Amino acid sequence: MYCPESKDAAATQEPTRRKLNASEQIESQPDEKEASTNRTPEVLNSETPAAPRETSSSQPQAREQHFTIMYGDTGHSYESIIGPYLFGAKAVVIEDPYIRLQHQIQNFVRFCETVLKSGTVKKIELVTGYDDRTQLAEIHEKLDDLKQSLLEVDVILDVKLNANMHDREIRLDNGWVVKIGRGLDFYQRPTSWFEVGANDLSLRKCLETKVDIYKVETDN
């Protein structure tokens, strides 16, 4: 959609699309300019202690946790559970046998959106299950759409199907492991899709499930 004044503009007629390039440098920051030499140096009174320099860390607090999400609880989103552990991770493996129905695939899309916010993950691997009632063609179609959208932001999605799997586990290559008893599908179905919590999972009521988060040794 464009306004009449801009329909003949070059940017409207030939919009620029970002081309993926595996060799493209992902992060490039310009060097900071040196401070002006004319700045007057700050003079501190010898009797007045200098104020402590504020330190900031971009790494969120990450610690081992073992807790239970109770039936009807709210305040639990994928970001609140796994977000603090994504710092520095470049690859995520998620094993969940029930990423097959419409709402389960939508939950997986939300999970991928959470992973993208880390800014460092470049590969997501999904291992999920199926049975004789599973519409494999429909699953492939939906996940292929997700693959393409992730590829446009330089993230690879690899999907593997395993009919015999039962366990649920999320593994990060920085050593953290997150186990949610119900996998990603631990939210109650909203009474109405027009009620609070229908879109924001942090406001959605949960089913009861256990969460175990711990760290293992890595080869890195």
Model confidence at 131, pLDDT cuts 50, 70, 90, reads: confident
Q: What is the pTM of this model?
A: 0.71
59 within domain boundaries: no
pLDDT bin (cut points 50, 70, 90) of residue 173 is: very high
Nearest Cα residue to 131 out of 103, 106, 166: 166
Residue 139 placed within a domain: yes
Q: Give per-residue pLDDT as tens, 41-58.
A: 444 444 444 444 443 344
pLDDT at 14: 53
Residue 149 domain flag = yes
Q: Mean pLDDT across the chain, nearest whole number?
A: 81
Q: 89-116 pLDDT, tens per residue?
A: 999 999 999 999 999 999 999 999 999 9
Mean pLDDT computed over 196-211: 96
Q: Is residue 137 part of a domain?
A: yes
Q: Does residue 48 lie within any of the structural domains? A: no
**Residue 133: inside a domain, yes or no?**
yes
Per-residue pLDDT, averaged over 53-64, amounts to 60
- Report if residue 29 sits inside a domain: no
Is the residue at 30 inside a domain?
A: no
Q: Kindly state the percentage of the chain with pLDDT values over 70.
A: 72
The total domain count for the chain is: 1
Q: What CATH number does residue 109 fall under?
A: 3.30.870.30
135 — alpha (psi -120 to 50), left (phi > 0) or beta?
A: beta
Could you count the other beta carbons within 10 Å of the beta carbon of residue 209? Answer: 21
Q: Which domain holds residue 132?
A: 65-215
